[in-house]
Chains A and B, each alone.
Chain A
């Protein structure tokens, strides 16, 4: 009986280990192209303490690895309200400081990834990117309402005239 339990434990452990390993490998994945938002959990630097990338923890609990290069744009605001907008290549030290500041404050960021590299890193604090949605909605509604109203008027007038042409043709004919 004791041997059975030992064997069962060994078998279960053997089965569980690959699952744990797979879960570990899936925990951190490279960011896919598009927008990803989350909190910075890990900052990756090279041997000369230059920022090379960071890991984001997304709302779904996924860990996403993002790398940066010289053309990565930053638009980040610190606790004092000082907004810094620049490219990584222009001031890599400030970029590292800002990223560190974001991580320490657990301030969420939105990262735009293109070809596996972050093209833009901006703060998502207080939903800044979602500002002015009402204005965008107004533009969208005005544009489409304008077209539909005009096309409706034109098509109605066309059918009225088609009827009139038919009536007049019968009079002439």
Chain B
């Protein structure tokens, strides 16, 4: 038990160190981009946050499949942790994207496929969490939530290929198997983006693990409350039966 907080502390320190390195690279090391100027530094926040939002939905899908297969509650907890962390990252992806779009495109938002499918991803996360919040707890909720999580994962490849299939204002993928070979993301820019992506991934693992721990505590509290209710019910039943025995007429037939 004592080792757990130590691991968490080490992980937190590792995350902080990586983030400090990222900030140094973003603001002091990497050269300023020619056309956009300093606002291009938003890339090192927007792309890693978007990446982790995608990882979160994949995590939900994997955990959902594992839950449906094993019915082990730990997978359900992992899916919840992924969904709640994912909604934070997806919201930040949308906000940072909008703030970047305004000075570069001249508008906060365009209705193109990449942006719309990303907004849908955000709504999938919200729908998943709302379903869990309003549906009565139990096996049925976990099973249906797993199915919603799986359906939501279909959106991920559409977002990734969206800019290639229907390219408009949002640039095509700059990393990954479908990226453009003429991409300018190489040298210092590519290295900074890589370090930032690793840093945000490490941060995601930390935040998701904390949320997983919280979910475990919530389950523990529910189990304890149930045990107390059962205990009270058992005491009440026992005292009722004792009372009925003592109040029964003496003697017999």
Contact = CB atoms under 8 A, between A and B. Distances in A.
B interface secondary structure, majority: helix
B198 interface: no
Contacts of A130: 37-38
Contacts, number: 107
Contacts of A142: 92, 95-96, 99
Interface residues on B, range: 35 or more
Interface residues on A, range: 35 or more
Interface string A127-163: 0111111011011101100110011001101100110
A135 B103 contact: yes
B75 interface: no
Contacts of A136: 38-39, 41-42
A104 B93 CA distance: 45
Contacts of B88: 146-147, 150
Contacts of B218: 161
B220 interface: yes
A34 interface: yes
Contacts of A139: 42, 45-46, 95-96, 99-100
Nearest to A120: B34
A155 B5 CA distance: 13
B46 A122 contact: no
B153 interface: no
A11 interface: no
A7 interface: no
A163 to B, nearest CB: 10
B220 A135 contact: no
B20 interface: no
A133 B92 CA distance: 19
Contacts of B225: 168
Nearest to A112: B31
A35 interface: yes
29 contacts: A35-B31, A73-B34, A114-B188, A120-B31, A128-B37, A129-B38, A130-B37, A131-B37, A132-B38, A133-B38, A133-B39, A139-B42, A139-B99, A142-B99, A143-B92, A146-B88, A146-B92, A146-B95, A147-B92, A150-B207, A154-B214, A158-B210, A158-B213, A158-B214, A161-B217, A164-B221, A165-B221, A168-B225, A169-B224
Given A130-B38, A146-B95, 16 more contacts: A34-B31, A73-B34, A114-B187, A129-B32, A131-B39, A132-B103, A140-B45, A142-B95, A146-B88, A147-B203, A150-B207, A151-B207, A161-B218, A165-B217, A172-B224, A172-B231
